[in-house]
Structure 1
């Protein structure tokens, strides 16, 4: 996904501000000097577009959260909107999609540099960490690995750029979504996965002579079997 495009996550009439220099992008005016016609929403900007004030990247633009507003809720809503647009525009009718499923954000909560939760979609189930600072992992390319500590242990997340939300950190949990019969089934799997990730490890069994099996028991584990090995209906 590119920095521009409708997946940027802003409303069509949003007037985002550059966090570096304060320039405001006005969709009614566009940016004719850079071949962006009037009426172009921020999400419709071409990939090459940069801040006209400082040359900064698109992910450096944000919409101010109103006083008393919910920053996490705003970012999660933008992420959900991004994937819903992708579902409607690019994924409708694609064979890997499960038509019984929908895009839904589940269980997001503050953690470390941002907010972590799960996203279900007709074509994937992912754990996602949204950074508070959209530029946090700006030097990472899609597919790069980012090691992040969770309560259950350290995990290697995959970097994924999503518009003005910046680069997210993602753990793919399921890609064969036809294993789920309906949205409730996928939702239950997401809740289970998040519980595994965010649960403190249990104390290791006591032993006078620690052996390999005891040491192995202390390692965090997140496997497809542990998450999705429950009986099918």
Structure 2
């Protein structure tokens, strides 16, 4: 077993979907929280600071994932080890995971198990929005009062 993990030159979404679909087709189907109407889908994967980041939807969970990007080399870590990363959305806690066909990755569980009332369409939309929101900067106007009243609004002028 290598001590390093080489980065993915191309978007890893297809490989992630194949690897987690294999798990869905075998190990997970008999479990009570498995929702067969929910597809396995890697959503919104894109490069951020030279790493691939996106969300992974399966019939049992929704997670934010980070994998090494092109020309990146990660040191192998113990599966289950915790790491905190600073993303545009804020600090996010990840756990090291590993799966055949993809190697090691970082995962932050967002919903596990999935809400029983989610339709496939709702779950896919949630996964897409999650991937986009993780890399979105918070919108804050630091010059605006935290609780602007009518008078405070009049005191704000362009350029201040």
Band of TM-score, shorter chain: 0.7 to 0.9
**How far is the alpha carbon of 1:104 from its aligned partner?**
0.8
**1:100-154 deviation digits (Å, cap 9, x = unpaired):** 111011111111242111111011111111112685141x212212222222223
**1:203-232 deviation digits (Å, cap 9, x = unpaired):** 255478x8xxxxxxxxxxxxxxxxxxxxxx
Q: Write 1 or 2 for the structure with the bigger share of helix.
A: 1
Q: Rg larger in 1 or in 2?
A: 1
TM-score of the superposed pair, with normalisation by structure 2: 0.76
Q: Which residue of 2 aligns with 1:72?
A: 10
Equivalent residues, number: 145
**1:33-76 deviation digits (Å, cap 9, x = unpaired):** xxxxxxxxxxxxxxxxx5xxxxx46966x9xx9xxxxx333x22
Matches within 5 A, 1:1-233: 50=1, 56=2, 71-73=9-11, 75-132=12-69, 136-138=74-76, 140-163=77-100, 165-206=102-143
State whether residues 5 and 74 of structure 2, in contact with CA within 8 Å, keep that contact through their aligned partners in structure 1: no
Any stretches of 5+ residues in structure 2 without a counterpart? 147-160
Any stretches of 5+ residues in structure 1 without a counterpart? 1-49, 51-55, 66-70, 211-233
The verdict on how the C-alpha distance between 1:166 and 1:189 changes in structure 2, with shifts beyond 3 A counting, is same
SS of equivalent to 1:82? helix
State whether residues 85 and 94 of structure 2, in contact with CA within 8 Å, keep that contact through their aligned partners in structure 1: yes
Select the structure with the greater relative contact order (CA < 8 A; seq sep ≥ 6).
2
TM-score of the superposed pair, with normalisation by structure 1: 0.54
1: distance between equivalents of 2:3 and 2:72?
10
1: distance between equivalents of 2:26 and 2:39?
14
SS of equivalent to 1:95? coil
2: distance between equivalents of 1:156 and 1:201?
18
Q: Write 1 or 2 for the structure with the bigger share of strand.
A: 2
